[in-house]
Amino acid sequence: KVEGIVQEEMDKFAKISGRQYHVVDYVGAADAENVIVVMGSGAETVEEAIEYLNAHGAKLGVLKVHLYRPFPTESFLKALPKTVKTVSVLDRTKESGSLGEPLYLDVVTALSQAFSNGKLASLPKIYGGRYGLSSKEFTPAMAKAVFDNAVSAAPINGFTVGINDDLTHKSLAYDASFEVEPDDVVRAVFFGLGADGTVGANKNSIKIIAEDAGKYGQGYFVYDSRKSGSMTTSHLRFSDNPIRSAYLITSADFVACHQFQFMNKVDILRIAKDGATFLLNAPYKADEVWDHLPIEVQEEILAKHLKFYTINAVEVARATGMGQRINTVMQTCFFAISNILPKDEAIAQIKAAIKKTYSKKGDAIVQKNYAAVDASLEHLFEVSYPDHVTSKFHRQAPVPADAPKFVQGLTATLIADNGDSIKTSDLQEVVDGTWPTATTQYEKRCIATEVPVWDANTCIQCGKCSIVCPHGVIRMKVASEEELKNAPATLKTADYKGKEFAGKKFMLQISPEDCTGCGVCVTACPAKNKENPELHAINMDHIENHLEAEKANWKFFETLPYVKRTEVAKNLPKTTQMIQPLFEFSGACAGCGETPYIKLLTQLFGDRMVVANATGCSSIYSGNLPTTPYCKDEKGHGPAWANSLFEDNAEFGLGMRISIDHEEVTAKTLLESMKAELGEVAEKILSNPLSNDMEIDAQRDNVAALRAKLAAMNSEEAKHLSEIADYLIKKSVWIIGGDGWAYDIGFGGVDHVIASGRNVNILVVDTGVYSNTGGQQSKATPMGASAKFATAGKELPKKDLAMIAMSYGNVYVAQVAMGANDMQVIKAMNEAEAYDGPSLIIAYCPCINQGLNMADGLSHQKNAVETGSWPLFRFNPLNETAGKAPLTLDSKAPSKPLADFMSSETRFQVVNKMNPARYEELLEKAQKNVNDKHTLLEYMSQYK
């Protein structure tokens, strides 16, 4: 009955929409001999392939299943041509251990039973296979390969298409050049950088062409999990007829590269067809750009007879106040060159789209975009190029020649945007799910248009620029004159200001290829140039003015040793920043407010950290392929990192603590039982309190000596102790995640962990929204703020996670904000790690979803503290034993009204613009909450 009921509903839908579906639809030759059975979007691709192949003499068909369970056997048999000899069933899933995938098994059962019951005269040969796994493409060429397999001399059952499986040899080979797209389809591909606005502009272009010009439009957007700073690829199709090509473009009429650095790293033009148009954003004039292209790029332009245009979109964006967002400029150029719409009409439509998209952000933003549109065509030029290659250099290798073998192989393939070429055998090294750390250093994305430049004469050596650097590209070291004798002439130094390293030279060095150009370091710098007060000790400048010199400086700088943890007091920005960060060059957004906290943790405890990371922004930039930002020191020590799920990360981290403690007890028990044989080394290990870095370093030496003795012993006990001896060195367990995890989805786990009494440390990087999924409201969202899908302004106050934790009485709790008080952050982290029990640090993190200029993130943190929106405090249960109040209030009473803070961020002002009365009501309530909270904290700070 279900089959009939569903068909009736489909018929009703057809009357309303004009689109007729059946529980099983058949498309193809009436006398088809070979058919494919498939569900979902793959059906359109198969249909497109068979139309082309049937037009060239084939007899093929496709059965599109629209009702899966209960399987519509009657409709299926009715739709199946009587002439069919082979049936190939495609499943987009992998059912390990089964005899076949779900749809395949249902088709086999339906046909076998029909044959047994006499409803089918003959039983066709049935083959099953997988497609589209791991986001792999499914193209007409692959559909053809499935048909070819069915009629081959030795058909493969249980095949895979789209993946090169050279281990089971069950993957189907296909001709990637096979295309069936109609000639009337305009295909355009755009390569941009995450957060440069390319994807957003292309979505607007589709709307303009499809909605206003009456054409059909389609867009597919390819990017990794990094929210900004990685390559984005937009695949756009336009036509006067419906577009059914549900796959990425492989042969484009128009190719645009919005970031010049890609030309030296990725084969952008492989996707361009012969005679295509190529638009390049370049920092060079039209008569200069040709000579700045690699040999390989010039060869492709010549071989494919490309029509070549260029514009300095970055300069246009700067001049019109758009900053680094070049999307409007490049979009205007696309319409001017492509002739999809008349130029004047296109510009009018672009401006209309700008007003619709950005009006809620204020008229100033709209006018800047208008100015960018008007200025674009004046700076767009066609490039006349010679008929031969003139370049003197080749495209840059994806990774340096001195990179490890693994990085040279799998990682380099991914960086070069060739991930689809990876074979299953290439993954054998990581089959257990573990990936090597310290690989971001080989990526060298070089995505910044401006980089910080150090003024050694003005610098006061405070370390503030380094501690706030989100990507760890600003480093500090000291060295002797002897160590610097082979330094490049361009390396800047200054006499060290302080007693610790008197007589040595101080260096502050930037890695230009790893910088994102956020500018946070400049806003953090307190030093002023005496001759020009507008300049600091660190200032932004165009990367092309410094790239080669700073690359050489960085290479030499890396050969110099870092200060050891045992050589400095880890209580100041200056001293902590002399220590090597073991978290570097991540894929976080430019100006990210989360990563400075994680980087600082690794400088304080990184050589013995074990991290459980909740799913969210922090798990993406910490563990997302192709590279890993957690790294190792010169001895090979560094954080061990793992990500489980969103909802169980707290429990996951607690499990790490419990297992570490268990192994430590086991090791100590074995050590005690073998004291007589091991002698002094056993006593040294067991008596070491491990209360500071010097004692922990000594323990490492003790464990090395222990292993040397154990190696000469043949007992099972000695072997076991040697295997777990590292657990005799103190481990620092950190559970890291965002507010969406800690306040919402994982709160039950957080509560369970802090109630356990175990020695675990929790760091909550609090942005006030679900940042990784686009800025949805969480329980950490402050009152009055708008968020994605909740734009009216949050009615209730922010959940007080800190107060909940403090109510247990035995939990160390701190609320911190690096931009307001970096010393307090350092103190809180040191106290939390030293506390023998659960600790919770809640860190204020500026985020692009808050609607602010990320270069100003530090001032927003300071403003949040000064208005009382984010009070700073530390709750240490150990204070009670000294007769002190557990709570220390580290921020003063609010010195500004909350309105000062709320008026500075778009997330609040959206509410004000939509409904001023509601905004004022929420502001009044929020101000009362701030006042009440400060009164409570004041009381708690005096209560002993």
CB 505 within 8 A of CB 494: yes
Q: How confident is the model at residue 227 (pLDDT cuts 50, 70, 90)?
A: low
Residue 221 has a pLDDT of 96
Which domain does 799 fall in, by range?
A: 767-942
Q: Looking at the domain assignment, is residue 116 inside a domain?
A: yes
DSSP tag of 396: P
**The pLDDT of residue 438:** 96
Residue of 603, 648, 653 lying closest to 630 (CA atoms)? 603
Neighbour-count burial of 488, counting CB atoms closer than 10 A to its CB (0-12 exposed, 13-18 middle, 19+ buried): middle
The reply to whether 238 and 303 lie within a common domain is: yes
200 and 308 both lie in a single domain: yes
* Cα-to-chain-centroid distance, residue 197: 16
Counting Cβ atoms within 10 Å, is residue 767 exposed (0-12), middle (13-18) or buried (19+)?
Answer: buried
Mean pLDDT of the chain: 95
656 within domain boundaries = no
- Looking at the structure, tell me whether residues 476 and 514 fall in a common domain: yes
Quickly state the pLDDT bin for 194 (edges 50, 70, 90): confident
- Structural element, H or E, at residue 920: helix 916-942
**Residue 467 in tokens:** 């501690």
> Average pLDDT, stretch 897-904?
96
Task: Clarify whether residues 276 and 339 are in a common domain.
Answer: yes
Q: Are residues 156 and 191 in the same domain?
A: no
Among candidate residues 11, 50, 13, the one with its CA nearest the CA of residue 33: 50
User: Which two structure tokens, joined as six digits, stand for 254?
Assistant: 């128009």
- Same-domain status, 342 and 193: yes
- Side by side, the strands of the sheet bearing 216-222 are 216-222, 231-239, 186-193, 252-257, 272-281, 307-311, 381-382
The pLDDT tens digits of the residues spanning 333-375 come to 999 999 898 888 989 999 998 888 888 778 888 999 999 999 9
573 and 466 within one domain:
yes
pLDDT-derived band at 161 (thresholds 50, 70, 90) equals very high
Domain CATH for 243: 3.40.920.10
Indicate whether 165 and 295 sit together in one domain: no
Do 482 and 371 share a structural domain? no
The CATH number of residue 119's host domain is 3.40.50.920
Residue 226 in this model has a pLDDT that exceeds 80: no
Q: Quick check: is 874 in a domain?
A: yes
My answer on whether 139 and 84 are in the same domain is yes
Q: How many domains does the chain have?
A: 4
The whole-number average pLDDT for the span 296-304 is 98
On the question of pLDDT at 705 being above 70, the answer is yes
Query: Same domain for 167 and 199?
Result: no
- Would you say residue 532 lies in a domain? yes
Buried b (16+ CB within 10 A) or exposed e, 41-71: ebbbbbbbbbbbbbeeebbbbbbbbbbeeeb
Cα dist from 793 to 356, 487, 865, whole Å? 21, 56, 21
Please give the pLDDT value at position 343.
Answer: 87
In the predicted structure, residue 566 carries a pLDDT above the cut 70? yes
Is 16's pLDDT higher than 80? yes
Q: Give the tens place of pLDDT for each residue, 804-824.
A: 999 999 999 999 999 999 999
643 has a pLDDT exceeding 90: yes
High-pLDDT (> 90) share of the chain, %? 92
Helix or strand run (H / E) with residue 825: helix 822-834
What value does the mean pLDDT take over residues 21-27? 98
pLDDT value at position 624?
A: 87
Residue 293 lies in a domain: yes
Residue pair 223/233 in contact by the 8 Å Cβ criterion: yes
CB atoms within 10 A of CB 394: 11
446-477 CB burial, b ≥16 within 10 A, e <16: bbbbbbbbbbeebbebbbbbbbbbbbbbbbbb
**Cβ-based burial of 685 (10 A; exposed 0-12, middle 13-18, buried ≥19):** buried
Q: Rounded to the nearest 5°, which phi and psi values hold at 222?
A: -115, 125
Largest CA distance in the chain: 97
Residue 709 lies in a domain: no
Over its C-alpha atoms, the chain yields an Rg (Å, rounded) of 31
- Checking if the pLDDT of 715 tops 90, the result is yes
pLDDT, position 536 = 98
Q: Write the CATH number for 835.
A: 3.40.50.970
Beta bridge partners of 583: 630
327 within some domain: yes
**What is the average per-residue pLDDT within 868-889?**
96
When pLDDT is averaged across residues 530-559 and rounded to a whole number, the result is 96
Can you give the pLDDT at residue 225? 75
> Which CA distances in Å does 249 have to 179, 272, 273, 755?
10, 10, 11, 54
In a domain, 747, yes or no: no
First CA to last CA distance, the chain: 73
Structure letter (DSSP) for residue 744: I
**CATH code for the domain of 445:** 3.30.70.20
637-657: average pLDDT: 96
pLDDT tens by residue, 844-858 = 999 999 989 999 999
Looking at 367, 382, 397, the residue that finishes a domain is: 382
pLDDT reported for residue 398: 94
Give the helix ranges, DSSP H, for 712-821.
716-724, 739, 747-754, 801-806
810 and 876 Cβ atoms separated by less than 8 Å: no
Q: Kindly state whether residues 197 and 305 are assigned to the same domain.
A: yes
Instruction: Please name the residues in contact with 482: beta carbons below 8 A apart, sequence gap of 6 or more.
Output: none
Whether the predicted pLDDT of 463 surpasses 80: yes
pLDDT for the residue numbered 944: 77
